[in-house]
Amino acid sequence: MKFSPALESGTLIKRYKRFLADVRLQDGTEVTLHCPNTGSMKNCLFPKQTVWFSTSTNPKRKYSRTWELMQTPNNDTIGINTGRANQVAEEAIKDGIITELLGYKSVKREVKYGNENSRIDLLLEAEGLPLCYIEVKSCTLMEDEQGYFPDSVTARGQKHLRELMEMVKAGHRAILLFVVQHSGIQSVKIAKHIDPDYADLLQQAKKAGVEVLAYRCQLNKDEIKLTKACAFND
């Protein structure tokens, strides 16, 4: 997924009220970005470091600029916009990058499903194959060179696991796909130290037949794309 128009850059001042971040541009001007990330962004916030943002031409938006990338003091790049994870996952499926999902011909987004008023991120269909329900999660938390998910307690994430288990029970295929949006992360683990209930439920989901995949991204100011699978460790 290429950024068009090109991203602009500035330096981070602070994130606040969850969905806002102040940035200083190269000419000294301070602007406010929309922060499209509902998580804690633990270990993703580095004041005075470079950020990249996109700009919308939609006149109805209060904040036209959207935070896309963060550079760490170690020169790693983090994808801040969690919505991009779904986009690059869909693109990778269509391009045959995710080998576990070869053969599916149709990809639908945000389809209603389940008993808890949910929408699946991606629904795959193909003649002769079971329906495939994919819940996409963006992984950005890195501690001691290890990637973790979630970065905060997630009741919503637990709901998604329950819904995926129900899809398996109904005879479909269900996948939890971690899109790693941090260039320093080489493998993914469940953050039991942050949300032990989510960790326990994921074990139940795996035993029930839910598949877990993790793929790394290539991230830079020009594009984001899925590149290759990485290890998922319980």
pLDDT digits (tens, 9 = 90+) for 115-138: 898 999 999 999 999 999 999 999
Q: How far apart are CA 78 and CA 217, in angstroms?
A: 10
| H or E element that contains 109 | strand 106-113
Torsion of Cα atoms, 38 then 65 then 112 then 153, to 10°:
-10
- Residue 233, pLDDT above cutoff 90: no
Cα gap 232→26, rounded to integer Å: 40
The predicted pLDDT at position 171 comes to: 97
- pLDDT of 234 > 80? The answer is no
Residue written as tokens 């029970």?
169
pLDDT of residue 109: 96
Residues near 193 by Cβ (< 8 Å), separated by ≥ 6? none
Tens of pLDDT, residues 37-76: 988 999 999 999 999 999 999 999 999 999 999 999 999 9
Taking Cα atoms as reference points, which of 159, 194, 197 lies closest to residue 176? Answer: 159
- Looking at residue 184, its pLDDT comes to 96
Query: For residue 70, what pLDDT is reported?
Result: 98
The neighbouring-strand residues paired with 79 are 69
Q: How far apart are the first and last CA of the chain?
A: 30
> Which tens digit of pLDDT belongs to each residue from 93-104?
999 999 999 999
Residue with tokens 């389809």: 111
Question: What long-range pairs does 163-166 form, CB within 8 A, spacing at least 24?
Answer: 163/113, 163/114, 163/115, 163/116, 163/118, 163/120, 163/133, 163/135, 164/133, 164/135, 164/205, 164/210, 165/204, 165/205, 165/208, 165/209, 165/210, 166/114, 166/115
φ and ψ at 58, to 5 degrees?
-70, 115
Non-local CB neighbours of 52 within 8 Å, separated by 6+ positions: 7, 8, 9, 68, 69, 221
Instruction: Report how far residue 231's alpha carbon sits from residue 216's, in angstroms, rounded to the nearest whole number.
Output: 10
Q: Beta 8-16 vs 50-55: how paired, if at all?
A: antiparallel
Question: What does the pLDDT read at residue 227?
Answer: 95
**The two structure tokens encoding residue 128:** 């002769």
Predicted local confidence at residue 38, as pLDDT:
87
Q: Which amino acid is at 205?
A: A
pLDDT, one tens digit per residue, over 146-200 is 999 999 999 999 999 999 999 999 999 999 999 999 999 999 999 999 999 999 9
Choose among 119, 139, 158: nearest CA to 37. 139
Average pLDDT over residues 220-227: 96
pLDDT (mean) for 81-85: 96
pTM of the model: 0.94
